[in-house]
Amino acid sequence: MNGFGGTGTDNEVMKLVSLMLQSLFPPIKVHEMNLSTCRRVVMFNRTGEGSADPNEGEIEFRHYAVSAR
């Protein structure tokens, strides 16, 4: 997740959205993860974080299939 950090300008709606997205998927511990067990990766990026309106912007969703060879 990128762009959801605590910059001080986030409001309760964005905190709730961030919590909801984090609870949908299990977290990844990159240093402990076995690559052969990983099949898919989801990334979220919030754009427009620096604007005056904290609700402005979009959330980009990217989904990757992972295969180890």
- Written in H, E and C, the secondary structure of 4-49 is CCCCCCCCHHHHHHHHHHHHHCCCCCCCCCCHHHCCEEEEEEECCC
- On average, the pLDDT of the chain sits at 79
- The pLDDT value recorded for residue 54 is 61
Q: State pLDDT tens for residues 19-44.
A: 898 898 887 788 888 878 888 888 88
Full-model pTM: 0.64
Name the DSSP letter for residue 54: T
pLDDT of residue 62: 92
Q: Are the beta carbons of 68 and 25 closer than 8 angstroms?
A: no
